[in-house]
């Protein structure tokens, strides 16, 4: 075991927050993970599992032992008449895994291109984009119980997927380490181009014949034009979830804001874009010291250089309060606060 002390986590979180881990180690095998979970450097036995660092805001140094997931491997484990079942280790980079699937004509992942982070975090967050969520392509996952080091298999139902949510963020928070995820992908593509600006981007690309490759490239183009690259400007993508309100409340708001964008969830609920709410409160392009709101996408909070996690968190608090005051809607953070 190679355990490092007072280790900087700045390169390991996409916000680029300069905090340190009291102890730090990486694991690339399940046996290494088990050894590290059992290792107690002192009375603080806290173990924090770190993936791609793309959905985290560090507001302080991390006590105990930070464990970096570097489990690797992608394999086609079986296939049937309609589907291909592909297993990916938790430490694989998500976008590179999506590109692997597209290269091999495994359909279903194309709308999830260019999402930052690792495979292991994808079911925790039930990541989604452009009309597709993990639950739509999910088959199962294997996870290590941190208490007794037993390995459990979780089905779709076991995971209790919700909007940017799963059982691993609630009942089983900090109890399991996701080792690998198996995805059920299509042999024959079922193209999904109705969400967002995909169709317009495909037209701009002069695509004559739809393919998973062209849809992936369209999504990459759109995300690249709207979202800042974390390698250039520190960020964790969408900081807030899109809120869902009762139809009655939406109708009342619509009287005041007739142009309010919305998506009908069901007969009683409506989803409203958090970006629109934030922009209406005047936050788009806001900057205070090095903490700010992105100029093109108000859903994204950014670190322009040396912002602290506390500064970004405080900014998010101000945004939450202003949206609540103006619209009587409580936004919820999508990013995990540490």
Q: Give the tokens for residue 110.
A: 């194309």
Q: Active-site residue 164, yes or no?
A: yes
Query: Helix/strand/coil (H, E, C) string of 186-230?
Result: ECCCCCCCCCCCHHHHHHHCCCCCCCHHHHHHHHHHHHHHHCCCC
Cα of 252 vs its chain's centroid, Å = 32
Listed residue (110, 86, 54, 331) closest to 222, CA to CA: 110
Give the Cα separation of 136 and 128 in Å (integer). 9
Task: Report in angstroms the alpha-carbon separations of 164 from 18, 180, 280.
Answer: 27, 19, 24
| Residue 133 designated active-site | no
Determine which one of 113, 238, 308, 316 is catalytic: 238
In angstroms, rounded to a whole number, what is the distance separating the alpha carbons of residues 58 and 338? 5
Between CA 75 and CA 123 the distance in angstroms is 18
CA distance 239 to 323: 14
CA 99 – CA 102 distance, rounded (Å): 5
Q: How far apart are CA 78 and CA 61, in angstroms?
A: 43
Q: Which two tokens stand for residue 54?
A: 């793309």
Q: Do the Cβ atoms of 228 and 235 come closer than 8 Å?
A: yes
Task: Give the sign of the dihedral formed by CA 210, CA 216, CA 220, CA 223.
Answer: positive
Contact 299, 209 (CB under 8 A): no
> What tokens does 145 get?
């119980």
User: Widest CA span of the chain, in angstroms?
Assistant: 63
- Cβ contact 126:161 at 8 Å: yes
Query: Is 146 annotated as catalytic?
Result: no
Which candidate in 92, 122, 164, 184 is catalytic? 164
- The catalytic residue positions are 164, 238, 334
């Amino acid at each position: 075991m190679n355990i490092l002390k007072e280790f900087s986590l700045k390169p390991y979180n996409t916000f680029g927050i300069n905090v340190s881990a009291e102890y730090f180690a990486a694991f690339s095998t399940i046996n290494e993970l088990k050894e590290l979970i059992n290792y107690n450097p002192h009375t603080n036995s806290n173990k924090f599992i770190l993936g791609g660092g793309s959905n985290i805001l560090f507001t302080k140094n991390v006590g105990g032992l930070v464990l970096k997931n570097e489990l690797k491997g992608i394999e086609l484990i079986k296939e049937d008449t309609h589907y291909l079942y592909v297993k990916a280790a938790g430490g694989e980079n998500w976008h590179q895994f999506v590109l692997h699937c597209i290269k091999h004509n495994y359909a279903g992942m194309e709308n999830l291109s260019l999402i930052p982070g690792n495979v292991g975090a994808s079911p925790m967050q039930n990541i989604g984009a452009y009309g597709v969520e993990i639950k739509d392509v999910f088959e199962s996952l294997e996870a290590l119980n941190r208490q007794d080091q037993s390995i459990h298999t979780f089905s779709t139902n076991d995971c209790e997927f919700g909007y940017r949510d799963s059982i691993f963020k609630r009942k089983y928070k900090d109890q399991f380490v996701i080792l690998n995820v198996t995805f059920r992908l299509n042999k024959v593509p079922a193209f999904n181009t109705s969400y967002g600006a995909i169709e317009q981007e495909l037209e701009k690309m002069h695509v004559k014949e739809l393919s998973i490759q062209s849809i992936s490239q369209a999504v990459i183009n759109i995300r690249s034009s709207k979202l800042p690259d974390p390698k250039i400007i520190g960020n964790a993508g969408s900081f807030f979830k899109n809120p869902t309100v009762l139809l009655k409340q939406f109708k009342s708001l619509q009287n005041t804001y007739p142009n309010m964008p919305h998506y009908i969830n069901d007969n009683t609920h409506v989803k409203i874009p958090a970006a629109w709410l934030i922009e209406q409160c005047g936050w788009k392009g806001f900057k205070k010291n090095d903490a700010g709101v992105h100029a093109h996408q108000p859903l994204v909070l950014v670190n322009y250089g040396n912002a602290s996690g506390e500064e970004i968190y405080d900014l998010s608090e101000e945004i939450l309060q202003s949206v609540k005051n103006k619209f009587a809607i409580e936004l919820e953070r999508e990013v995990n606060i540490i």
